[in-house]
Amino acid sequence: MNYPDIHTLSDQELLQRYKADGNTEWIGELFDRYAVLLLGMCMKYLKNEEDARDAVQQIFLKVLSDVNKHEIQYFRAWIYQVAKNYCLMQIRQNHMKYKEEISDRNLGAMEAEQEDKRMHQEKDIMLDHMEQAMSQLSPEQKICVELFYLHKKSYQQIADETGFNLMQVKSHIQNGKRNLKIILEKQQRANKS
């Protein structure tokens, strides 16, 4: 079954429909909406693209098994927390393998870790701002920017996938990049106020 209006449904509607009939197209649409965000977040925590891609797959499997166990009010916030917890657990497991006694010489490493945490928090905020900014782009600009920067597609591949000609693809990417910069600068100024 293919539902033409599936993209217009809210996260909550998709979730309710999935819980009602178990049709994986509903949850699949939710996954599609958040896959890029989760991959970026996993990359930030795990610092390895292959590990991040594996983590996203594991997170989706966890969501499939847990979604019916919870009363989820805001899917975006819930899946973000599931992903964050998964990544932190992976980091903890990796640290347990190489656990050392704390000494004076690794005190500096602990301070660096605190700095890393602060930087991760800043990156979380930046990713949220980027996601908000992307949602403000025109649909044409958004798809071209995502395919070019996040999926590393060439202009020709984007043209083939979207039906735009090469000049339109270049224009959408250039204008989308410029608009993202403007939107992010406005957000930054607003946050400083």
User: What confidence tens digit (pLDDT) does each residue in 35-55 have?
Assistant: 888 898 889 888 888 988 999
Residue ranges in the chain whose pLDDT is less than 50: 101-102
In whole angstroms, give the CA distance from residue 151 to residue 124.
20
What CATH number is given for 1-99 in this structure? 1.10.1740.10
- CATH class of the region 110-193: mainly alpha
Tell me the Ramachandran region of residue 163: left when phi exceeds 0, alpha when psi lies from -120 to 50, beta otherwise.
Answer: left
Residue ranges per structural domain of the chain:
1-99, 110-193
What is the DSSP track for 150-171? IS---HHHHHHHH---HHHHHH
Q: Is residue 31 within 8 Å of residue 60, measured between CB atoms?
A: yes
Place of tokens 């602060």: 118
In whole angstroms, give the CA distance from residue 108 to residue 106.
5
pLDDT digits (tens, 9 = 90+) for 141-176: 999 998 998 889 999 999 999 999 999 999 999 999
